[in-house]
Copies of this chain bind each other. A is one copy, B any other.
Amino acid sequence: MVGGGQLARMTHEAGIPLGIRFKLLSDTPQDSAAQVVGDVVIGDYRDLDTLRAFARGCDVITFDHEHVPTEHLWALEADGIPVRPGPDALVHAQDKGVMRAKLDAIGVPCPRHRIVSDPADVERFAAELGGGQAPDGFPVILKTVRGGYDGKGVWVVRSSKEAAEPFRAGVPVLAEEKVDFARELAANIVRSPHGQAVAYPVVESIQVDGVCDTVIAPAPDLDEELAGQAQQLALRIAQELGVVGHLAVELFETADGRILVNELAMRPHNSGHWTQDGAITSQFANHVRAVLDLPLGDPRPRAPWTVMANVLGGDYPDMYYAYLHCMARDPQLKIHMYGKDVKPGRKVGHVNTYGDDLADVRERAAHAAGYLRGTITE
């Protein structure tokens, strides 16, 4: 696995029971996954020689993130190393421009969008939107087509004057309408090389300041037909794009009951962390199984409700005393910490809770996440 973040850490955890030999390419020995994996190579995934040397002897390569240059992936494939997901699929998670063009081509509903060339072009795009937008079409979402995550590389601009910054990086900029959504959903599916696929229940994802805060599985009060449409959409995208492994499709649910695709991620995803304790087979276990072309595990939930809440860094670098309180308060609480240095606002872990009563399950998750961060003190 290329990349030493928490997704690799939790994929390793899920791979241990399968008896597989898990090898990691990590930037530093302190990275989240590098702390817990036995076979670690320290090196820069942007360097092709490093990547090639790492890949030698691997049966298959997969990823913790989307940032490996697409041409490096082609080079690995040319070396005869299976890359899953392959570069032709992964490019859609790497480049939002390519992703939007492909989703348009296969008729998947997306927010209105186009590549823009400068602030004046943003103003023209805004004017074209009309409709539900303000008279001048603003606000508009601008995204660099590569390199963004967790709100980084994304701007909400209210005028062409505010639109200068996204163009400074010299990366193409995608403009999108700001969708007036009722809530955000995610459809998580896993697909294997021979085409078997499983769909997890569609979840609701609640963002705070552009970062995922809470995930509720399944999405409460979601129309059954719409849930089925969202799963079908994710399965179709995976098939059309040739995805292998876990695919997260982030969706907007509009007030008038439509779904639009916001983002794609081709790896285990924050919106699937609930599956570790809430599903028969976790997203990490199924990602490993897909990458190894093994039959996939049952994606069904084990409890009526599972809630995941992210733990962001707060003022306390030491979690031990917070554990004492949280574990004593809720003996069913599932804590998943990433071994990261605590910095304010940084995702350092998550908690999962499950049970029959959604209000109780949400309260327990929110309490634990808040207490671990330090924003709740009793």
**Given known contacts A13-B16, A13-B17, A295 and B331 CB-to-CB distance under 8 angstroms:** yes
Known A-B contacts A294-B324, A298-B332, A332-B297; A16 and B38 likewise in contact (beta carbons under 8 Å): no
Chain B proximity mask over A292-335: 1 for CB below 8 Å, otherwise 0: 00111110001000000000000000011001100110011111
Chain B residues, CB < 8 A from A362: none
Task: Check if A36 sits within 8 Å of B16, measured CB to CB.
Answer: yes
Cα A294 to Cα B18 in complex, Å, equals 29
Minimum Cβ distance to chain B for residue A147 (Å): 28
Across the interface, name the chain B residue whose C-beta is closest to A351.
Answer: B17
Q: Is A40 an interface residue (CB 8 A)?
A: yes
Q: Are B331 and A281 in contact (CB-based, < 8 A)?
A: yes
Please, which residues of chain B bring their CB within 8 A of the CB of A332? 280-281, 297-298
Number of copies: 2
Check: A155 CB closer than 8 A to any chain B CB: no
User: Which of B18, B22, B334 interacts with A17 by CB under 8 Å?
Assistant: B334
Given A38-B35, A332-B280, A289–B19 Cβ distance below 8 Å? no
Contact B17 A337 (CB under 8 A): yes
Q: Which residues from 65 to 91 on chain A have a C-beta closer than 8 Å to any C-beta of chain B?
A: none
Kindly state whether residue A37 has any CB partner on chain B within 8 Å. yes
Question: Is A349 a contact of B280 with CB atoms below 8 Å?
Answer: no
A34 lies within 8 A of chain B by Cβ: yes
Return A203 CB to nearest CB of chain B, in Å: 20
> Do A22 and B38 have beta carbons less than 8 Å apart?
no
Indicate whether A338 reaches chain B with its CB closer than 8 angstroms.
Answer: yes
Min distance, Cβ A356 to any Cβ of chain B, angstroms = 13
Interface: A287 (CB within 8 A) = no
**How many residues on chain A are close to B (CB under 8 Å)?**
42
Q: Does A12 contact B (CB under 8 A)?
A: yes
From B34, B294, B297, B320, give the contact of A38 (CB < 8 A): B34
Q: Looking at the complex, which one of B39, B295, B334 makes contact with A327 (CB distance below 8 Å)?
A: B295
In the complex, how many angstroms separate the beta carbon of A201 from the nearest chain B beta carbon?
16
For the complex formed, measure the closest distance between the CB of A353 and the CB atoms of chain B, giving whole angstroms. 11
**Set B13, B38, B302: member contacting A302, Cβ < 8 A:** B302
Q: Which of A1-53 contact B (CB under 8 A)?
A: 9-10, 12-13, 16-19, 21-22, 34-40
- Give Cα A161 to B104, complex, Å: 86
Complex contact A331–B298 (CB within 8 A): yes
Q: Is A146 an interface position by the 8 A CB rule?
A: no
Given contacts A38-B36, A40-B38, contact A19 B337 (CB under 8 A): yes
Partner of A331, one of B9, B297, B323, B331: B297
Q: Does A228 contact B (CB under 8 A)?
A: no
**A334–B17 CA distance with the chains assembled, in angstroms:** 8
Compute how far the CA of A108 lies from the CA of B13 in the bound complex, rounded to whole angstroms: 40
Query: Which residues of A, 274-298, contact B by the 8 Å Cβ criterion?
Result: 280-281, 289, 294-298
Known: A327-B295, A332-B298. A36 touches B17 (CB 8 A): no
Residues in B neighbouring A12, C-beta threshold 8 A? 16, 36
Instruction: State in angstroms the CA–CA spacing of A289 and B36 once bound together.
Output: 18
Q: List 6 A-B contacts (CB under 8 A).
A: A9-B16, A16-B36, A17-B335, A19-B338, A37-B38, A281-B331
**Interface residues of A, Cβ cutoff 8 Å to B:** 9-10, 12-13, 16-19, 21-22, 34-40, 280-281, 289, 294-298, 302, 319-320, 323-324, 327-328, 331-339, 349
